[in-house]
Amino acid sequence: MSTTRIVIVGGGYAGCMAANRLARKTDPETAAITLINARPDFIERVRLHQRVAGTGEAGTPLTEMLNDRVSLRIGAAASIGDGVVTLDDGTEIAFDRLVYAAGGAPRGPEGTLAVGDPEQATTARARLAALGDGAHVTVVGGGLTGIETATEIAEARPELAVTLVSAGEVGASLHPSARRRIHDELAALGVAERRGTYDPAQRSDLTLWAIATDVSDLAQRSGLRVDADGRLTVDRYLRSVTDPRIFGAGDAAAVPGQRLSCQTAMPQGAHAADNLVRELKHAPLRPYSMGYAGQNVSIGRRRAVIQAARRDDTPIRLWFGGRAGALFKEQVCAMAKAAAGSGRYTWLPAPRSARTPATETPSPETTSGRTPTGR
């Protein structure tokens, strides 16, 4: 019996989920699993605002996250060719199947530091720690990451002047009643809100970029079809439309109607793994389908807003906040990490109206229905 060489590129929520699920669902004789990651740590990106504010850490060694059956290669994939991944040191790793889960690569304009980038978050932490009383901190982006970053810093460092800059409405993805609570929480922590775009001329001693726009350009560089944002274009089974040996999952994959979040990265990683297992068993693949439950936004360490949603991701009037919200949010973060580290995960199917259209090759236009702020 031949052994299928499965390579996973990216050890975030999607990649760890896929690798660990494959390890659970395949035999060592039939599948050899290798995960390639640029860093030795699994980064809980949902905690990077804590890294910035100095209120928590986000890294865990990948060796603690991965099933013993998964071989770990630390290195950046430079290209994905015909059945071979080339690392930036020139090493070649052959594959029969690949899961592309390289995630986001947030970048802001010059002079800003991206909260979603682990290294820039570490730099921001040092820069923030060195700021004196009354220094100005600007957080750009009024989505959930921007709210979390601004409130985390304002709570931890009340002597700083924190401004949240947003082109659109702050917390636009939330129900209007929950949004009002967000404005109250920001005001209570002394965070000033400024409507507009990033203006480098405004006084700021530290400017943090909390908008998730960019992804790894690895797929594009490798000649795989991508959408207008550089995300791997996949069919309804999560397979690359260029190379059916490749599955895509997480922030780096253009899955129609999905917003960037670990809430979507994990079921995608799990589904890619399940379809790969089906292929190995010569069973028919199943279309990907996922329904939302809601959104969680932390307000410093002691409060949060937990927003319930319909399965099509429409927020409803049902939400709660305060201390109970903070405890809930903490549980969600811990459970997400535990799920990625075990490969065990179940999720709701999409409502019938939101199911992926039955096309094998979605056009770039149909793959861009993602929120620009991420999550």
Ligand X SMILES: Cc1cc2nc3c(=O)[nH]c(=O)nc-3n(C[C@H](O)[C@H](O)[C@H](O)COP(=O)(O)OP(=O)(O)OC[C@H]3O[C@@H](n4cnc5c(N)ncnc54)[C@H](O)[C@@H]3O)c2cc1C
Cβ closest to ligand X, residue 323 vs residue 358: 323
Largest CA distance in the chain: 68
Provide DSSP, 4-28: EEEEEE--SHHHHHHHHHHHHHS-T
Q: Are 284 and 278 in contact (CB under 8 A)?
A: yes
Q: Is 156 in the site for ligand X (CB under 6 A)?
A: no
**Cα–Cα distance between 13 and 266 in angstroms, integer?**
6
Among 58, 74, 61, CA closest to 10: 74
Strand partners, 114: 209
Cβ closest to ligand X, residue 7 vs residue 161: 7
* Alpha-carbon 368 to chain mean position: 16
Q: Is 37 in the site for ligand X (CB under 6 A)?
A: yes
CB of 56 to ligand X, least distance (A): 11
Judged by CB under 6 A, the chain residues 64 through 103 that form the site for ligand X are 76-77, 101-103
Q: Give the residue, chosen from 66, 147, 186, 218, that forms a contact with ligand X under the rule CB under 6 A.
A: 218
Angle, CA 163 vertex, CA 123 and CA 130 arms, to 5°: 35
Of 7-15, 270-278, 308-316, 355-363, the window that binds ligand X (rule: CB under 6 A) is: 7-15
The 281-320 contact track toward ligand X, x by CB under 6 A, reads ---------------x------------------------
H or E segment at 373?
Answer: none
Q: Is 12 in the site for ligand X (CB under 6 A)?
A: yes
**Cα–Cα distance between 235 and 287 in angstroms, integer?**
9
Q: Give the residue, chosen from 13, 95, 209, 319, that forms a contact with ligand X under the rule CB under 6 A.
A: 13
**Cα–Cα distance between 58 and 123 in angstroms, integer?**
14
Q: Give the residue, chosen from 7, 93, 104, 309, that forms a contact with ligand X under the rule CB under 6 A.
A: 104
CB of 116 to ligand X, least distance (A): 3
Give the binding site for ligand X (CB under 6 A).
9-15, 36-39, 43, 45-46, 48-49, 76-77, 101-104, 115-116, 145, 148, 216, 218, 250-252, 260-263, 265, 296, 374-375
